[in-house]
Amino acid sequence: MNSRRKFLATVGSASVLPFLAASNKKGLALPISCNTYNWLTFYRREGKEWWQDPEACAKEFLQTGLTAIEPSFTSVEQAAQMIAVLRKYNIQLPSIYVNSLLHKAEESSKSIETVLSIAREVKKYNTRIIVTNPSPLKWGGTEAKSDAELLEQSANMERLGEELRKMDLILAYHTHDTEMLAGAREFHHMLQNTSASNVSFCFDVHWMYRGSQNSTVAVFNTLKMYGNRVVELHLRQSVNGIWSETFREGDIDYVKFAAELEKQKVRPHLVIEQCVEDKSPNTMNAVEAHKIDLAEVRKIFKI
């Protein structure tokens, strides 16, 4: 079971259409952001716990030059507590990440209401994008969902997206590697059987790469097939398959990737997710690494 999954397991119709078009094709004025999971991994390797001291963590975060963050929430209370700190330090919250359980009819309604309740709370702080990764059968497992479960999941994803659209919020579908099992049938089913008006795509570039057995062909084919659905990118690099310590030249050609986005006139929300894992280099702390990440993302995507 990968560490991110362990962490996440524990812790008006017409009015939104111009926003969808603007965020995808013309560019939405959202600042470069950063997922909190990065910080958890950096802190953990130093024997510390991210957000144990919220104000100290917020101050350290701002030292990087970043002004926006994408946290993972499991409850309204958790969201409200973090927003209080973000508001104090003027850290923006353009997007959030939540898990959802959508493939089981008997549990999906509760999960959808949890996501909607969190969405209502974060909208008060001007959040625009709700990223969700539907739970697999087992985190870290290798069993693919049945056709019946996929049909249930896509119907519930559409339902969730429609409810969020009524709130002027965008639902962005996210994947890890499990969705690439069995010919990536879950991944393709979700985007082929939901509407672009209700469900956008958060393209986690490196999980697509790793989930397809380290294939840049898969990365660029995905962009070719679903670029018009992309509203957000999660950005991470690796070198020889191992997550690098900073966003840099490596296995994925992000210069080419950015150029392809430009050709499609797609301007997604950019979220740095340069985490570290067991074999990653260990030469700098989170602040030093994220300063480099931010500068590199600005250069590659011409921000």
Give residue 302's pLDDT.
95
The radius of gyration of the chain's CA atoms, rounded to the nearest angstrom, is 18
- pTM for this structure? 0.91
- In tens digits, the chain (303 residues) has pLDDT values of 344 444 444 433 333 333 443 344 445 689 999 999 999 999 999 999 999 999 999 999 999 999 999 999 999 999 999 999 999 999 999 999 999 999 999 999 999 999 999 999 999 999 999 999 999 988 888 899 999 999 999 999 999 999 999 999 999 999 999 999 999 999 999 999 999 999 999 999 999 999 999 999 999 999 999 999 999 999 999 999 999 999 999 999 999 999 999 999 999 999 999 999 999 999 999 999 999 999 999 999 999
Q: How many CA atoms lie within 13 A of 38 on its CB side?
A: 31
For residue 143, count other CB atoms closer than 10 A to its CB.
11
Give residue 27's pLDDT.
54
Pick the CATH number of 3-300 from 3.20.20.150, 3.40.640.10, 2.40.37.10, 3.40.1050.10: 3.20.20.150
As a whole number of angstroms, the distance between CA 209 and CA 252 comes to 8
Which residues is 133 bridged to in the sheet? 99
As a whole number of angstroms, the distance between CA 212 and CA 125 comes to 36
